[in-house]
């Protein structure tokens, strides 16, 4: 196990609703990245947080937002849900530093279905 935990594991929402997904990073890691993975596709980068600040953002609209807390856990918020937001949302923690290997440690994901 990676030590990265995500909640909830599954959820169903309707169009227009809002959702908050949570991630606890692995102990000692200071960076959290969020990815969206649609069925049959690779993970698409949403954004990354390092020391509580957004440190890069992929091609996602502003209704996708996030936070990182002092303990390095993180939240992903999606407003005005659309059908195409149905996907597996993956949180990955990593350690940025001189000995950074670049390895990402993923949680098991939150599977969102939008009806």
Partner 1 sequence: RKEVEQDPGPFNVPEGATVAFNCTYSNSASQSFFWYRQDCRKEPKLLMSVYSSGNEDGRFTAQLNRASQYISLLIRDSKLSDSATYLCVVRVGGSYIPTFGRGTSLIVHP
Residue numbers of the site for partner 1 (CB under 8 A)?
2, 31, 33, 35, 40-45, 48, 50, 55-56, 90, 94, 96, 100-104, 106-109
Q: How far apart are CA 79 and CA 60, in angstroms?
A: 12
Shortest separation between residue 94's beta carbon and partner 1, angstroms: 8
Three-state secondary-structure class, residue 83: helix
Question: Locate tokens 């530093």: which residue?
Answer: 97
**Given the complex with partner 1, which of 15 and 51 has the nearer CB atom?**
51
Whether 94 and 47 have beta carbons less than 8 Å apart is answered as no
**CB nearer to partner 1: pick between 35 and 72:** 35
**Smallest gap, in angstroms, from Cβ of residue 49 to partner 1?**
11
CB nearer to partner 1: pick between 66 and 107: 107
CA distance 86 to 52: 27
User: Which tokens is 85 given?
Assistant: 């937001």
């Amino acid at each position: 196990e990676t030590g990265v935990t995500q909640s909830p594991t599954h959820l169903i929402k309707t169009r227009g609703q809002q959702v908050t997904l949570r991630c606890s990073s692995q102990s000692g890691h200071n960076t959290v990245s969020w990815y969206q993975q649609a069925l049959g596709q690779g993970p698409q980068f949403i954004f990354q947080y390092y020391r509580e600040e957004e440190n890069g953002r992929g091609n996602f609209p502003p209704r996708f937002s996030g936070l990182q807390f002092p303990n390095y856990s993180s939240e992903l918020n999606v407003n005005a849900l659309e059908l195409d937001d149905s996907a597996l949302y993956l949180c990955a923690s990593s350690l940025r530093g001189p000995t950074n290997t670049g390895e990402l440690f993923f949680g098991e994901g939150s599977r969102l279905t939008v009806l």
